[in-house]
Every structure is written in structure tokens, then in C-alpha cells.
């Protein structure tokens, strides 16, 4: 094979990769815009088979931006009930929360420090820029802020250390009687094992589960440390907007 042909193939590969990245970024932008409209977001999630949608049989909705302990919260809630429960979850669309509110379904919104959340999401979706992911985070929670009184908020530190207290607030707000999760080491280990097994089955042999798992990971912390400069370099108005939304919804720093 001539050097010219090989060079041409490498160039074609780079162009194809660049086109795929651009398409993925454009699709993400469209999704975060559509995700604010209940009619469009629910139809889109149904068409993609993404998440479990709210319906008349739903017991509770649990939603948050990706990497906000969504999988942990859903698994812990189900584990605590000791019976079959219908949980709407994992569309990652604020409009799904609004749909639950309109249907009279108890809604729990998860939230995490925007820097931690966004950096973890970019590890999972490396085609996105940190700035783009942060813009998506802001769009998610800005759409929910006007409805703050109509759902319960579960901040990431509390969800991952005392989820029983979060369920207690759900019961107080909605008059429900859900059983509280017992946040023991044994229960948490069992949930982490379950989540690890899920990702091993989904990814198949030969692929690392570390970018994806919803448990503490030293490897992910190293990856995030390498990207913190990228977060600091995002426009300050966008970071300030994210911080203000977090404080308004979670009631504390950042």
C-alpha cells in the first residue's frame, strides 16, 4: 500500500470521526432543548425506549441529571419497599418531572454539585465538551426551578449517605407511607454489587465498568482531576448560573 493511499485513509478516518462527534454534540443539544417540553420529551423517550415513563400506575418518579445518583436512588428505593413498586426514572428530562406533577405522582428530583456531575458525565460521554455538558445541566434545573414547591429535592451527599431521610421528606410532602431505606454498610454494598453486575452484563467482557458505575471510584476521581481546568475555563456566567440553581434547589453550596 502506497504512503499516499495510507495517508488518505487516515484523513478519511479523522474526517469521519469528526463528523460523528459533531453529530453527537448536535443531538445532545437538541435533546436538552426538547427535554423541557412535556409533550415532546415524553414522546421522544418512548420512541427511544429510554427510561421508565410515568403513567397512572406509577408510585413515584425519581429523576435527575445524569450522574446524580439516579441508579442508586432507584435501587435503594425499591430495596426499601420490600414489594413491587412502579418507579418512573432515567429519562433525564425535566419535562418528565413536570408530567409527574401534573399527574399527581410524587416526584423526587436528584441534584449534584454541577462541577462533579458534569465532569463525571463527560467521562461517560467523551464526545461532549465540559461547557456543553454544563449548559445541559443548567437547562435541566432551570426548567424545574419555577416548580420547586411541587417536588422533593434529594441532594447527592444526602442521597448517598442517608437516603432514608430523603424518603421521609417524600412521605411528609406527599402524604405517602413509603418505607425508609436503611443506610447500612451491608445494604449499600449489596446495591453497589447489583450496579456493578448490571454494567458488566451491559458492556460485555473486555470493557471497563469504571467510567459508568454509580459507586465511588478512585479511577474516576483521577480522570475528573485532569479535567477540572476545563470546568474552570467555562464562561463564568454559565458557572455562576449553575451555582445559583444548585443553591436555590439544594439550599447550600456551591
pLDDT given for residue 65 in this prediction? 97
Domain-located, residue 226: yes
Q: Which residues pair with 61 in a beta bridge?
A: 88, 107
Whether the predicted pLDDT of 235 surpasses 90: yes
Q: What is the pLDDT of residues 196-220, one digit of tens each?
A: 988 898 888 888 888 888 888 899 9
**Residue 128 · residue 135 · CB < 8 Å:** no
Q: Determine the pLDDT at residue 5.
A: 47
Joined grid coordinates for residue 209: 465498568
- Average pLDDT of span 215-244: 94
Q: What would the pLDDT profile of 14-67 be if each residue is shown by its tens digit?
A: 444 454 566 667 676 665 766 556 666 666 666 676 788 999 999 999 999 999
**What is the structure's pLDDT at 110?**
98
Q: Distances in Å between the alpha carbon of 191 and those of 2, 114, 195, 201, 242?
A: 55, 24, 6, 15, 30
CATH number, position 224: 3.40.50
For position 213, what pLDDT does the model report? 85
If you write DSSP's letter for every residue of 57-74 in order, what string do you get? T-SEEEEESTTSSHHHHH
Residue 7 lies in a domain: no
The pTM of the full predicted model, rounded to 2 decimals, is 0.85
Q: Residue 109 forms beta bridges with which residues?
A: 63, 153
| Residues 114/254, Cβ–Cβ less than 8 Å | yes
Report whether 118 contacts 133 (CB < 8 A): yes
Place of cell 477540572: 228
The pLDDT tens digits for 100-146 are: 999 999 999 999 999 999 999 999 999 999 999 999 999 999 999 99
Domain assignment present for 13: no
Note the pLDDT of residue 215: 85
On whether residue 26 sits in a domain, the answer given is no
- Mean pLDDT value across the chain: 87
Reported confidence tier of residue 8, pLDDT bands at 50, 70, 90? very low
Q: Is residue 2 part of a domain?
A: no
CB within 8 Å of 133: residues ≥ 6 apart? 118, 121, 122, 125
Residue 178 covered by a domain: yes
Residue-range definition of the domain harbouring residue 90: 35-250
Q: Write phi, then psi, for 25 (nearest 5 degrees).
A: -65, -40
Q: Is residue 144 part of a domain?
A: yes
Q: Is 207 part of any domain?
A: yes
Q: Dihedrals φ, ψ of 109, to 5°?
A: -105, 125
Instruction: Indicate the number of domains in the chain.
Output: 1
Amino acid at each position: 500500500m502506497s504512503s499516499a493511499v495510507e495517508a488518505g485513509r487516515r484523513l478519511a478516518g479523522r474526517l469521519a470521526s469528526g463528523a460523528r462527534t459533531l453529530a453527537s454534540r448536535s443531538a445532545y443539544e437538541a435533546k436538552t432543548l426538547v427535554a423541557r417540553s412535556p409533550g415532546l420529551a415524553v414522546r421522544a423517550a418512548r420512541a427511544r425506549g429510554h427510561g421508565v415513563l410515568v403513567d397512572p400506575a406509577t408510585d413515584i418518579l425519581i429523576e435527575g441529571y445524569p450522574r446524580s445518583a439516579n441508579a442508586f436512588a432507584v435501587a435503594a428505593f425499591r430495596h426499601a419497599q420490600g414489594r413491587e413498586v412502579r418507579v418512573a426514572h432515567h429519562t433525564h428530562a425535566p419535562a418528565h418531572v413536570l408530567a409527574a406533577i401534573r399527574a399527581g405522582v410524587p416526584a423526587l428530583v436528584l441534584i449534584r454539585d454541577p462541577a462533579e456531575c458534569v465532569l463525571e458525565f463527560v467521562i461517560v460521554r467523551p464526545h461532549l465538551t465540559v461547557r456543553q455538558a454544563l449548559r445541559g445541566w443548567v437547562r435541566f434545573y432551570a426548567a424545574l426551578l419555577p416548580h420547586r414547591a411541587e417536588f422533593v429535592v434529594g441532594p447527592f451527599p444526602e442521597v448517598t449517605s442517608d437516603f432514608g431521610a430523603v424518603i421521609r421528606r417524600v412521605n411528609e410532602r406527599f402524604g405517602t407511607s413509603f418505607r425508609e431505606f436503611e443506610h447500612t454498610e451491608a445494604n449499600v454494598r449489596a446495591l453497589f454489587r447489583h450496579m456493578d453486575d448490571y454494567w458488566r452484563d451491559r458492556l460485555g467482557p473486555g470493557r471497563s465498568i469504571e467510567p459508568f458505575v454509580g459507586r465511588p471510584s478512585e479511577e474516576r476521581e483521577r480522570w475528573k482531576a485532569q479535567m477540572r481546568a476545563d470546568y474552570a475555563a467555562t464562561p463564568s456566567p454559565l458557572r455562576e448560573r449553575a451555582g445559583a440553581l444548585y443553591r436555590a434547589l439544594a439550599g447550600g453550596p456551591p
